[in-house]
Amino acid sequence: MSDSSLQSDDGEPLLTVRNLKKHFDTSTGLTDRLLGGGQSVKAVDGVDLTLHEGETLAVVGESGCGKSTLGRAILNLHQPTDGTVRYGGEDITHLSGKEMKPYRQKLQLIFQDPLSSLNPRQTVNEIISAPMEVHGIGDSAADRRERVEELLVQVGLKESHADRYPHQFSGGQQQRVGIARALALEPRVIVADEPVSALDVSVQAQILNLLSELQSSYGLSLLTITHDLSVVSQIADRVAVMYLGEIVEIGPVEQIFERPQHPYTRALLSAVPRIDAADRTDRILLKGSVPSPINPPSGCRFHTRCPEVIPSSAWPGNQSTFREAFRFYNRLLHEELEIDLVRERLENEGRSTDTDTVATQLLDESFQMPIEELPDDVQTVMYEIARHLIEDNREQAIETAQGVLDSPCKQSKPEMQVSGASQASCHLLTAEVTPTISPE
C-alpha cells in the first residue's frame, strides 16, 4: 500500500467520522437472543467529528459517556453499529481484519493502564518489534532490534531497557514503552485513551510533554480521550464534549474554555478544582446522576440534569422554581417516587398518613426549597399531582404534570448550532428564550 493513496488533500481532514453509532447488546445467552429480551446500550449514538493533519482533538466527558467506545469504534476495534469512519477519504468502517491491516499501520492506540497494555511475558524488545514483524518492517530481528532501541531513546528510555520486562518499569516508563510501540509503525493518527490518568502527577507532565514533542517531530494527529479538563487545555487544539453518547459541543480549546456555549460544558468546567484561587468560578452543581444509556432521555439528553433547562410556556414562575418542579416531574416519569416508603416513614414517626400529610411529606422530601416558594397556582398543581399519585393514579398524575411542566428541552432534540468556530447543541442557542443564567 503506497502512502500517497492515503495522503489527504489540503484541507480535507485525515479522519472523518459521520453519524457513528455503537450500541451494545445486553442480551446474554441464546434464549435472550431468541426472545429478543435484551436491550441495547447506546454507548455512542450519532457522533460526527473530523481530525485534521497534525492537530490534537480531545474528546472529554465523564465516565460512561461513551468516549472510550468512540475511540475504539473509530479504530474498528468495535464494529460500529451505524455511520461511517473515513481515513484519508477511504471508508474503513466495515473492513475485515485483513482489509483493515494496511490502515492499522496508520492508526494506532495508546492505553490508559500502561501495565495491562503490555504483555507481562514479553520483553520490551518483543513488544515493540511485534508491530514491525506483523507489517513486515525491517529485514531481520537484528534490524528491528536496532529500530526498537532508537524508539526507546526517542521516548526517553535507554537502549538497555529493551531486555527488561514490563513489571520492571515504573508506570511512567511503562507508558513510554506503550508509546514506543504505537510509534513503531510510524502512524499518522494516534488515539490516546486517557494516556496519563493512571500516572503520578509529576510523571503526567513528562508524558504530556513527550506526546507533544513526538507529535511535532512525527507530524502526528492525536485523538485524546480524557476526563481531565486540565489535560485537555494542556495539549488539545480542539475539544469535543461528550454527554451520554453524543457530542454536545465541539470547537477550539480557547473558545470552549473561555466561552462555553452548552450548559453541560459550563457545569463541567466550573466543577474542575483549581489550584489558583483567581481561576475559581462560581460552581454550577449538577443534581442527580447520569441517566442510563439504555434508555436515554428524550429531546436533549441533558434535560434531566440541566441547570438551565428551558421552562415550558405554561410555567408562570421563574426558571429556578421550574427546575425544581421539572426534576420532580422527571422522577415521577421514571417511577422514582415511592409513596409507600414515605407513608411508612410517617407511620414510624407516629404521624398521620392521610392523603394530605403524605402529599406534603412527599413534596417536602422531593423539593430542595420550601414548596411555599412556588407560585400559588403551581403549588396547587403539585399537590394535585401528589394526590393522584397517592391515590394510585399515576397516569392522571403524569397528565396533570405534562400540562405545566413539558419543557421544549424534553420535547425536541436540539440541533448543532454554529457560533464562531465552535458548535453546540442546545435550545438556548436557538430559542428566543433568554438564558436565565447568563454565561459567566
Partner 1 sequence: MSLLTVKGLTTEFHTRRGVVTAVDDVDLTVNRGELVGLVGESGSGKTVLAESVVGLVEEPGVVTADSIVFDGQRLDQLTESEMRTLRGGKIAMVFQDPMTSLNPTISTGEQIAEAVRLHNDTGESISLPAELKRKIFGAAKDTESWRRAIELLEEVGIPEPSVRVTEYPHEFSGGMRQRVMISMALAGEPDLLIADEPTTALDVTVQAQILEDLKSLSQEFDTAILMITHDLAVVAETCDRVNVMYAGNIIERAPADELFANPQHPYTQGLLASTPRANKRRKLDPIPGNVPDLTNISYACHFAPRCPESTAECYDVEPEFRSMGPDHVAACLQRDPEVSDRE
Partner 2 sequence: MSTSQSPIDAKADEIDDVEEHLTLRKRLWGTLKRDKKSMLGAIVILSFLLVAIFAPYVAPVDPEQEYGIMEPPNTHSETADGEAYHLLGTDSYGYDIFSRIIFGARISLLVALVTVLFAFTTGTAIGLAAGYYGGWIDSLLMRYVDFQWAFPTLILAAGIIAVSGSLGVINVIIAVGVAFIDDFARLVRSEVLSLREKEYVVAARAIGMSDRRIMIKEILPNAVASLIVQVTLMIPIAILAEASLSFLGLGVRPTTPTWGLMLNEGRQFITQAWWLSIFPGFAIMIVVLAFNAFGDGLRDAFDVKEGEVLDR
Residues at the contact surface with partner 2, assessed by CB under 8 A: 30, 72, 75, 77, 97, 100-101, 104-105, 107-109, 111-113, 116-122, 130-131, 134-135, 153-156, 164-165, 167-168, 178, 181, 185, 206, 209-210, 213
Inter-residue contact 187 to 106 (CB < 8 Å) = yes
Task: List, in sequence order, every residue forming a beta bridge with 417; answer none if it has no partner.
Answer: 424
Inter-residue contact 172 to 166 (CB < 8 Å) = no
- Report d(CA 189, CA 206) in Å as an integer: 21
Report if residue 79 touches partner 1, rule: CB under 8 A: no
The H or E element containing residue 266 is helix 263-271
Report if residue 203 touches partner 1, rule: CB under 8 A: yes
Angle (CA) 275 278 282, round 5°: 95
Report if residue 286 touches ligand SF4, rule: CB under 6 A: no
Grid coordinates given for 11: 484541507
From partner 2, ligand SF4, partner 1, none, which one binds at residue 341 (CB under 5 to 8 Å depending on kind)? partner 1
- Report d(CA 391, CA 414) in Å as an integer: 37
Report if residue 88 touches ligand SF4, rule: CB under 6 A: no
Q: Which of these segments, 43-51, 177-185, 275-283, 413-421, binds partner 1 (CB under 8 A)?
A: 275-283
Select 109 or 300, whichever has its Cβ closest to ligand SF4: 300
Grid coordinates given for 97: 481484519
- Report d(CA 361, CA 66) in Å as an integer: 38
Cβ atoms within 10 A of the Cβ of 301, count?
A: 25
From partner 1, partner 2, ligand SF4, none, which one binds at residue 201 (CB under 5 to 8 Å depending on kind)? partner 1
Select 97 or 370, whichever has its Cβ closest to partner 2: 97
Select 67 or 303, whichever has its Cβ closest to ligand SF4: 303
Select 92 or 232, whichever has its Cβ closest to partner 1: 232
Select 181 or 238, whichever has its Cβ closest to partner 2: 181
Among 49, 306, 346, 404, binds ligand SF4 (CB under 6 A): 306
Among all chains, which residue has been given the C-alpha cell 421563574?
318
Task: List, in sequence order, every residue forming a beta bridge with 250; answer none if it has no partner.
Answer: 240, 423
Q: Which of these segments, 96-104, 127-135, 301-309, 354-362, binds ligand SF4 (CB under 6 A)?
A: 301-309
